[in-house]
Amino acid sequence: MAQKEHWDSRTAFILAAIGSAIGLGNIWRFPYIAYKYGGGAFLIPYFVALFTAGIPLLILEFALGHRTEKSAPYAFGTFKTSWKWAGWLAVFVGFGIVTYYAVIMAWSFDYFVYSFKLSWGTNPGNFFYPKFLQLSHNPFQIGGLRGVIILGLVGTWVWIYFSIIKGAKSVGKVVYVTVIVPWIVLLVLFVRGITLPGAQEGLRYFLTPNFSALKDPAVWFNAYSQIFFTLSIGFGVMIAYASFLPRKSDIINNAFIIALSNCVTSFIGGLTVFSTLGYLAYQKGVAVSSVVAKGPGLAFITYPTVINLFPFAQPFFGAIFFLMLLTLGIDSAFSLVEAFSAAAADKWKIRRPLLNGIISGIAFLIGLLFTTRSGLYWLDIFDHYLANYGLVIAALLEAIFVGYIIGPERLRKYANQLSDFSIGKWWTFMIKIIIPITLIWVIIWNIKDEIKIPYSGYTKGALGIGLLFLGLLFIMSFIFSKERSK
């Protein structure tokens, strides 16, 4: 067996963890979720979720991974074998998510190529749905596979596979490029965005708080799940990454640096998208809230719109932007595969390259569903069940596990003794009381609402399939947590 892997330096770890956190979640998911759930209405729950759940759980995952030096299921299992399944659930949810995450990367791949000729034309919305996706009318009208998207998907998986093949060490190097370059590109787009006519209206929509929206359970649910998604919490990823840390490593500082820089990035992504929405609304003479469809397609309409508006070298900026999206996505995608394969390697002692190949292959096959003409609907439905329910449940279990099984004080002392600055009893309070209560409340409140009004108007049949997939992940985690020999 190879020796336990380690990061080359503290910076490599921070960059890898930031690399995992910052991804399509910031540039693609955050803006459309914020748009769908009311712009400014979304921001309050979002920041509440960041400080009361996001950062505390990030510290928890780092401490747990560092302390046990194991992947999620085995980190749980170290303390209590019967809880291993909760760790498996986390990595399975991550696996489910990477199946469609890679498809968004595939779209970006195609758009990267399209940029050279600005193939999306003068109206990117009219290009994206009818020409690029050739979107069918409902989820069950599958309508065949889209060749260009499959090509992009193959490219994406090959790239992911080769990026992780060498494990922690190679991740450490790749991320220097994949974290820093995107930041510069995003800033350029941001500046173009906010200088467009109408931008102010868009920004107002994004930044004006709306207190009455706080009564909507879906807003809270999506704020929590977006925080977990964006910080890569509840997937076992940060547990696995922290397990590669050298014995003397600051945990608390790192958690703050990572969480804050991540959310600043989302915020800039949001400012760029919303200023563009303001511009589009201004042009069409309609309200910002109704200017384009509220869904996963948003980024593929707004960013090409900004790119079209560059005074010169549009293809260059277009290509750079989509390349950036890919480089941002890649380290997030491979961290998801890593978390799963770290767990599987702890279980079976199979060689990593083979494992990664198997995982990538299966994820690719499942992803084909999202490359059909009805793919966007399925992507939306799967995201709803996995990122909302799956993820929030995984994070809830994590908090309960540490809060009531292993005892948060123990972990808090452990983290404090390693770190430059210490966390107080408030942390324990969050883990034991606040997080479990809020998450349970948010889940129940949402289920109640959803029984009355089906998610986004989909039929019961379509939603049932999403739910079934989530159920399957639960079953798989139970099966995987059973050890035959040892």
Binding site for ligand PHE (CB under 6 A): 20-21, 23-26, 94, 229-230, 232, 235, 237, 332, 335-336
- In the bound state with ligand PHE, the residue whose beta carbon lies nearer, of 7 and 120, is 7
Nearer to ligand PHE, 159 or 279 (CB): 159
| Identity of the residue, 291 or 339, whose beta carbon is nearer to ligand PHE in the bound complex | 339
Amino acid identity, position 129: Y
Nearest distance from residue 387's CB to ligand PHE, in Å? 9
| 139/269 with CB nearer ligand PHE | 269
Please identify, using beta-carbon distances, which residue of 229 and 378 lies nearer to ligand PHE: 229
94 or 278, CB closer to ligand PHE?
A: 94
How far apart CA 337 and CA 363 sit, in angstroms, is: 9
Q: How far is the CB of 440 from ligand PHE (least distance, A)?
A: 22
Question: Residue 352 is encoded by which pair of tokens?
Answer: 């990593």
CB of 117 to ligand PHE, least distance (A): 28
Backbone angles phi, psi at 116, to 5 degrees: -60, -30
| CB of 237 vs ligand PHE, minimal distance in Å | 4
Least Å from the CB of residue 375 to ligand PHE = 19
Q: How far is CA 52 from the centre of its chain?
A: 19
Residue 175 or residue 288: which is nearer to ligand PHE going by CB?
A: 175
Residue 12 vs 102, nearer CB to ligand PHE: 102
Closer to ligand PHE by Cβ: residue 295 or 315: 295
CA–CA dist 27, 187 (Å, integer)? 12
Supply the minimum distance, in Å, between the C-beta of residue 72 and ligand PHE. 12
Q: Which residue has the tokens 């910080």?
A: 231
- What's the CA angle centered on 394, arms 393 and 399, to 5 degrees? 95
DSSP conformation letters of 225-268: HHHHHHTT-SSSHHHHHHHTS-SS---HHHHHHHHHHHHHHHHH
| AA identity, residue 329 | G
Q: How far is the CB of 229 from ligand PHE (least distance, A)?
A: 6
State the minimum distance, in angstroms, from the CB of residue 303 to ligand PHE.
16
Q: How far is the CB of 366 from ligand PHE (least distance, A)?
A: 17
**Long-range pairs for 320-323: beta carbons < 8 A, 24 or more residues apart:** 320/185, 321/115, 321/185, 321/189, 322/108, 322/109, 322/111, 322/112, 322/115, 323/112
At its nearest, how many Å lie between ligand PHE and the CB of residue 409? 28
Whole-number Å distance between alpha carbons of 15 and 258: 9
First to last CA, the chain: 17
Question: 53, 142, 148: which is closest to 108 by C-alpha?
Answer: 148
CB of residue 215 vs ligand PHE: minimum separation in angstroms?
27
How far lies 137's CA from each of 126, 129, 141, 377, in Å? 15, 11, 7, 9
DSSP 328-382: HHHHHHHHHHHHHHHHHHHHH---HHHHHHHHHHHHHHHHGGGGBTTHHHHHHHH
The residue of the chain with the least Cβ separation from ligand PHE equals 25
Indicate the SS3 state at residue 92. Answer: helix
Of 271 and 462, the one with the shorter C-beta distance to ligand PHE is 271
Complex with ligand PHE: residue 335 or 419, whichever CB lies closer = 335
Give least dist CB 358 to ligand PHE, A: 19
Q: Phi and psi (nearest 5°) for 428? A: -60, -40
Please compute, for residue 470, the number of CA atoms within 13 A of its CA located in the half-sphere on the CB side: 19
CB of 423 to ligand PHE, least distance (A): 23
Torsion of CA 452, 454, 457, 459, to 10 degrees: -120
What per-residue string of b and e applies to 46-82 under the rule 16 or more CB within 10 Å gives b? bebbbebbbbbbbbbbbbbbbbbbbbbbbbbbbbeee
Instruction: Between 199 and 323, name the residue whose CB sits nearer to ligand PHE.
Output: 323
Comparison of 235 and 279: residue with beta carbon closer to ligand PHE: 235
- Which residue type, as a one-letter code, is found at position 279? Y
Count the helices and strands in the chain (H runs, E runs).
Answer: 23, 0
